[in-house]
Structure 1
């Protein structure tokens, strides 16, 4: 294979393909593509890998939580407390390793998902078209592209049809470049003058084309410019920022607590006082918080990927749970997207034609009034034949094997092409006698598409036009069965007749297209076809007939819409279809139906809205001023004939009502609304511009996947609240024990630890972290989609109250054990040096009391994990199907059981118990520990009972 990237523009495309070993029709083979991928590497710029392990490692130690532990470790070694210092080294190493491994995996997962959701390429290999990641494109690949696509590599054009490409990224030219295929000979031809080339990262703004890849990766023009591109730093999400802020608040609290210890001991900086200050400081820090958050987010991203939702931005994980309104497209999202032509109406005919067969089936009967009509007889009608020609030629879809799903193109285009195949007049057959010479693509502004074709008569060109009802306004004539024309300008009766048939077809849920035709000539325009103006071509047309296309709603759409209503989420359908069609589909999927169920569910839903305001056309909605829109009782649930600008207005209107909106889109013009929405959701089969503007990409284009993603976002947010509550209430309990513990002084006037520093670290990491991780993977509550969206942030008043209430229960009960064993059942002697001594005899009572505090603390925080599963429901409440709540989360069961047993050996293993943990074995004290656990259970149930009785706000945990 010759090198052609430097002079591809100066050679004919046949020469370029020959040099690259590419067949003009079938492209290259998969085996050849694999070989070239190994040789040239992936088609991506350096720095796009996105994962820097050293940066991740630095991030694990550069935070407030780890900073406290490092300071405590340094101080421990400074005062020669090598046991505690050694444990802290292990703790820091363990925490850093866990955090590094999980975040590294999360970043690798995110990187993989970014690549899956990155701009794609449509390649022809072995004669069939495939959509691949742009990173897999290789030199020699045959590409096709159309409006909205991002060019994945530098390519030599082979075929163009009205192709214009925005190359401002490379040339700085604001005007798109009109493309050709002829060689451009000359020295020092600038990029802007290479009109037979398209370049990586530029965008198709008009028409379509076919090209062969000549350069990929860093060999492209953008690659040469971008050799020094560095990795874009990952931005923290709002929740991460709040948690980071919390970490620094805790750091300040830790320093204040250390200051309190020194103040109580009159600023005597002896070893024991310093160690106590360290113990109190590390008690307030939830050491496992960073690792748990990283794991939960990583698992959430992977879980959503399995549900066909690729998360491009982590912020979407927390944004999804707050969604109050979903603005969805209809075709392919609420419906199956496999459209099929079912009805044809022609003027002058007694009845409509019905077309049999399913979507993508190229065989089907033609009937009228229930009787089969011979296709050959129907095609003798000039009107009918012209309509079929328009469906086949004014069309960008391609069919290889329709029955096997080997089709590509817009669903509507595919339906029209399949209809032409059923009439034995598919594009391949007609192309033999009529070649396309100019295309005016469909746009949201004109709402129509036109194709100019050249037949046997070189003097005349055929113009085929299809589109919305606006096409009728540019028709001057109507054709009868013999081909004769009759003027319809000013014929209101005929316009009304067409409108009646449109309305009837739309009421059946059909998407109605108007078909029109005319003949034109270069002589009439006085200039070459390539310079014809669209407005000149699309006038004076002849009305041919109407085509009705059925897009069956997905069976799961109605269920998902009703789920949204129960969850307090309003669903809006923004579609380009006729108003009657949109209304029919909206009713079928439940958008316009009243929601049955509880009063709260009915109030949460906006489904019961008068039709006059809930269904509008884009023209009606856009005609309203902002004040008029804001004055509406409810925003429209259905907007028909929707334009991209209407979508933007809808998002702005929702934001003025303080709503949190998700918007779906697939076209290049949808990018503004996707960016403006709180959560932009692109379709996997949509344009690359839409994907790069979105937060989430749906690989299955299914509305049900959006609802699943919202539920997953709620689950992740709920679980983060659960384990944050668990960790912080544990820390609050430890602070209470150690602060009040300052009052217990030995004979030398030194405060005696109710918990030793090593015990605290053991509680926070070994005992507390695994249940917190288990809470992070907790399955969604059965009521997760039955309450309104949560808009109050992470640290609500209820969560803060729960932290202090449960922390107080844990701290006071643990401290009660200390008091009972030393003073009620002991002699009240705190001895001396029991904070550092390893001799059990003089400190026996203190060591046993400390063990009782440790074990009661351990079992209470393990039991507390079950409290955190649902902070209002009783532990006696069963899950769905009558299952016990205790065994629903297997990981939680295992972590609680192991956590309950693990500290027991530390009580009895010699040296480990006295020298490291500063504790001793328990005997009769186990009774007190068991009673403490029972009291904690009783207090928790009473507290939750009071919340259920007096707190009326919905709760989704």
Structure 2
């Protein structure tokens, strides 16, 4: 049936509903508001810990020792700025990429943002359209809706006038119109839609790994912190001010204040960088996830080839009036796909026949058609589906398809197209040959993935020979298979996927099954696509990548949307993922090493304090005041970590993030902590020490710590490039400047004037650095990882 021309709401009706609040006011993204971003970055657990310690320090009257409180401001400001930048980028791109329903009103029918839909609006539907609000079908023409995203049931559901449709479902075939009955937060899938579009860091291997590390740190902090508090307050007899300052000096460096912040910044900067390339990241972990992918399933049409087509030839097979039939079929399709649009462009003069029945195109059947009474029943679709494979017409279609061209069969049927047994017996009338242009950047993109040891599987609904020809022209070698011959048993399907590269005549349910089969073999799978037939596979893949010009349904379920439709953007997403993974691993090494040596120092000093309590020996003050650990973190961790977290990094993503970080940071932290404690013990003068002697002992311990910790930075920065060497060198020079300036020494409570003690401290620091270096090489040998001092440029 044809669609009614009934008008929709008037402008006054719309205004009245807006005034009554009957609008679709669900946020396009469930991103945090500006006030929530500010609160979320200011009122954090780490800021709370540092804030309490700051108040304790200020109560002693030593303002300079409260300098670590600047971390609260820095952490909050950096986090707020980066998240606001990412929010602006995501919100801007989301508006460009979101589904725009076709709303019919008395003032005209036009695409509108989902937020502009009001109660009782009439919304038109076509293949691939996402249903944005709940409603009741008013008109339908062979309308079928997929509700699998809501119910899990993949079979399309036919819809008749009066049936309900739910937001979150999408149209797979036919056309229609429905009236909005529930809008905004009343709609069925409103909450689901909000949850799936959140700016979030969850479900991330990197994020979960950091959580494990933080949990491990917590287990260390509790006993070490309690021991430090007891020994510094109740065993040292140094006066409450000195005891409090030393206690805080022990506790502050145990807190990994920048680890979570640096991770969030790295992700947020990635979003902004990809946003400049018109890449919308619906879920942050997708940046990381695509860097871990080892199989990319690429749809041919719209991904490897451009969407547009043109009719290059029509080969008639013993039938006249082919042009009239093609023109009429194209004219009668209210929502033509790319193939029918190309036919409409080539045949613009329909004879004006009246359709008595229509059958929309479906990915599962591979044909569409119309019945025109005395003018016959006509179908158009895949030759290898509609014809006997042994026929001459089928052989000719196969020959043409082998050239990489798309071939459609126009044929007459002995049954009306709406007959349950359709298409029946098809008599070929013509072969319609369509040309598709291969994307000019597709070859380079496939070459990039090949160089990165990422397998490519081309999965298409087109003829297998044609798909194979296109894949071959792009340098993809391997056997091509017709998906109609694929086994259904998962293990056997996985075997076929391992041995073949390209697949044609793939049904939507098969695409999904192929993704599952690859995942069952331990592969991390990315699926690219643009059509409604790709939705199920996009949803179930580890990473779903949709084209911006594709169906609204495919964009809604994908984690990444390429708004400029450039397949060549994917390598940039991979590069961002590698940058995030590789740099956060470096940063984690720095922060965890600091926590390990801080906890070790606290435990060693605490045990010494307990022994003093038990055996009456000299108590041991913690070597550092808060200002000492603050300046130690400036150039060994804080500033270098920030730079390293944002730097380019093309190292391939590897599994075992937590294992590598722990095995690197634990021994290095122990080496730094042991060296620092040894230096302090040699310089410490005991209970009778003057204030100057205590300052000299603290300075000696700090010198040892800085030398060893700078070498940790030097190791973490490898493999070297000029700027990495400069980063390490400038960090070291910064401390030379601080120790060389009398004003800085006085401000930061430093005294390196005792040459013997300072020389000993430098020597022990160098021994600690040597230990860190040896540990790095030994770890490489034990883990089977090649250690490189200098970066080798990949060709």
Q: Which of 683, 695, 699 is equivalent to 2:559?
A: 695
Q: Which of 712, 717, 722 is equivalent to 1:869?
A: 717
Return the offset for 1:434: 3.4
Deviations 1:851-888 (A, max 9, x none): 45445645664564453233xx3x3xx5xxxxx3547x
Decide whether the 8 Å contact of 2:296 with 2:527 is kept in 1.
yes
Alignment of 1:199-238 (within 5 A): 203-209=170-176, 221-223=182-184, 225=186, 232=195, 236-238=202-204
| Larger displacement relative to structure 2 (244-253 or 299-308) | 244-253
Give distance in 1, aligned partners of 2:45 and 2:100: 41
Return the offset for 1:766: 7.2
Would you tell me which structure has more helix in proportion to its own residues?
A: 2
Q: Hey, what does 1:149 align to over in structure 2?
A: 129
Decide whether the 8 Å contact of 2:664 with 2:776 is kept in 1.
no
1:382 aligns with 2:348: no
Decide whether the 8 Å contact of 1:682 with 1:697 is kept in 2.
yes
Q: Hey, what does 1:441 align to over in structure 2?
A: 360
Q: Hey, what does 2:750 align to over in structure 1?
A: 919
Change beyond 3 A, Cα 1:116–1:869: farther
Q: Hey, what does 2:153 align to over in structure 1?
A: none
1:254 aligns with 2:221: yes
Q: Hey, what does 1:306 align to over in structure 2?
A: 276
1:294 aligns with 2:264: yes
1:415 aligns with 2:342: yes
1:317 aligns with 2:287: yes
Deviations 1:902-948 (A, max 9, x none): 895588576x855x744336696887888788777766666555566
Decide whether the 8 Å contact of 1:556 with 1:704 is kept in 2.
yes
Decide whether the 8 Å contact of 2:168 with 2:189 is kept in 1.
no
Decide whether the 8 Å contact of 2:679 with 2:700 is kept in 1.
yes
Deviations 1:91-133 (A, max 9, x none): 43443343344345444544444444432345799x9998775
Return the offset for 1:261: 3.5
Deviations 1:877-901 (A, max 9, x none): x5xxxxx3547xxxx84x9747853
Return the offset for 1:298: 0.5
Gaps of 5+ in 1: 1-11, 23-31, 180-191, 349-380, 398-408, 454-458, 475-491, 526-531, 593-608, 823-827, 834-841, 879-883
Decide whether the 8 Å contact of 1:20 with 1:139 is kept in 2.
no
Deviations 1:818-875 (A, max 9, x none): 567x3xxxxx635657xxxxxxxx43343245345445645664564453233xx3x3
Decide whether the 8 Å contact of 2:664 with 2:779 is kept in 1.
no
1:507 aligns with 2:363: no
For residue 307 of structure 2, give the secondary structure of its aligned residue in structure 1.
coil
Q: Hey, what does 2:82 align to over in structure 1?
A: 102
Q: Hey, what does 1:829 align to over in structure 2?
A: 685
Change beyond 3 A, Cα 1:329–1:546: same
Q: Hey, what does 2:430 align to over in structure 1?
A: 545
Give distance in 2, aligned partners of 1:658 and 1:83: 56
Alignment of 1:59-458 (within 5 A): 59-60=40-41, 65-73=46-54, 75-76=56-57, 80=60, 83=63, 86-87=66-67, 89-121=69-101, 133-135=113-115, 145-152=125-132, 161-163=141-143, 177-179=159-161, 192=162, 203-209=170-176, 221-223=182-184, 225=186, 232=195, 236-238=202-204, 239-261=206-228, 268=235, 271=240, 272-273=242-243, 275-347=245-317, 382=320, 384-386=322-324, 388-389=326-327, 392-393=330-331, 395=333, 410-418=337-345, 420=346, 425-426=347-348, 429-430=349-350, 433-435=352-354, 438-453=357-372
Return the offset for 1:585: 1.5
Alignment of 1:509-658 (within 5 A): 509-517=404-412, 533-535=418-420, 538-592=423-477, 611=479, 615-621=480-486, 623-630=487-494, 634-658=498-522
Change beyond 3 A, Cα 1:317–1:953: same
Q: Hey, what does 1:498 align to over in structure 2?
A: 393
Give distance in 1, aligned partners of 2:590 and 2:248: 22
For residue 337 of structure 1, give the secondary structure of its aligned residue in structure 2.
strand
Return the offset for 1:696: 1.5
Give distance in 1, aligned partners of 2:429 and 2:27: 55
Give distance in 1, aligned partners of 2:302 and 2:515: 21
Return the offset for 1:440: 1.4
Q: Which of 452, 463, 466 is equivalent to 2:377?
A: 463
Decide whether the 8 Å contact of 1:391 with 1:416 is kept in 2.
no
Return the offset for 1:772: 1.0
TM-score by length of 2: 0.81
Q: Which of 757, 770, 773 is equivalent to 2:642?
A: 773
Return the offset for 1:254: 1.6
Give distance in 2, aligned partners of 1:577 and 1:167: 25
Decide whether the 8 Å contact of 2:28 with 2:94 is kept in 1.
no
Give distance in 2, aligned partners of 1:929 and 1:122: 75
For residue 339 of structure 1, give the secondary structure of its aligned residue in structure 2.
strand
Change beyond 3 A, Cα 1:111–1:315: same
Return the offset for 1:284: 2.0
Decide whether the 8 Å contact of 1:579 with 1:640 is kept in 2.
yes
| Larger displacement relative to structure 2 (500-509 or 140-149) | 140-149
Return the offset for 1:795: 0.9
Change beyond 3 A, Cα 1:84–1:777: same
Give distance in 1, aligned partners of 2:229 and 2:774: 38
Change beyond 3 A, Cα 1:237–1:909: farther
Change beyond 3 A, Cα 1:929–1:339: farther
Q: Hey, what does 1:724 align to over in structure 2?
A: 588
Give distance in 2, aligned partners of 1:201 and 1:390: 34
For residue 515 of structure 1, give the secondary structure of its aligned residue in structure 2.
strand
Deviations 1:320-379 (A, max 9, x none): 22211111101121123332333332235xxxxxxxxxxxxxxxxxxxxxxxxxxxxxxx
Decide whether the 8 Å contact of 2:357 with 2:418 is kept in 1.
no
Q: Which of 623, 633, 654 is equivalent to 1:790?
A: 654
Give distance in 1, aligned partners of 2:496 and 2:723: 46
Q: Which of 825, 832, 843 is equivalent to 2:691?
A: 843
Return the offset for 1:262: 5.9
Change beyond 3 A, Cα 1:774–1:138: farther
Larger Rg belongs to: 1
Larger relative CO (CA 8 A, sep 6+): 1 or 2?
2
Return the offset for 1:540: 4.4
What value does the CA root-mean-square deviation take over the aligned residues? 4.8
Q: Hey, what does 1:5 align to over in structure 2?
A: none
Change beyond 3 A, Cα 1:744–1:553: same
Change beyond 3 A, Cα 1:767–1:330: same
1:754 aligns with 2:623: yes
Return the offset for 1:661: 1.0
Alignment of 1:887-906 (within 5 A): 893=727, 897=730, 901=734, 904=737
Change beyond 3 A, Cα 1:48–1:707: closer
Change beyond 3 A, Cα 1:162–1:756: same
Give distance in 1, aligned partners of 2:606 and 2:724: 37
Return the offset for 1:723: 0.9
1:807 aligns with 2:676: no
Query: How many pairs align?
Result: 767
For residue 408 of structure 2, give the secondary structure of its aligned residue in structure 1.
strand
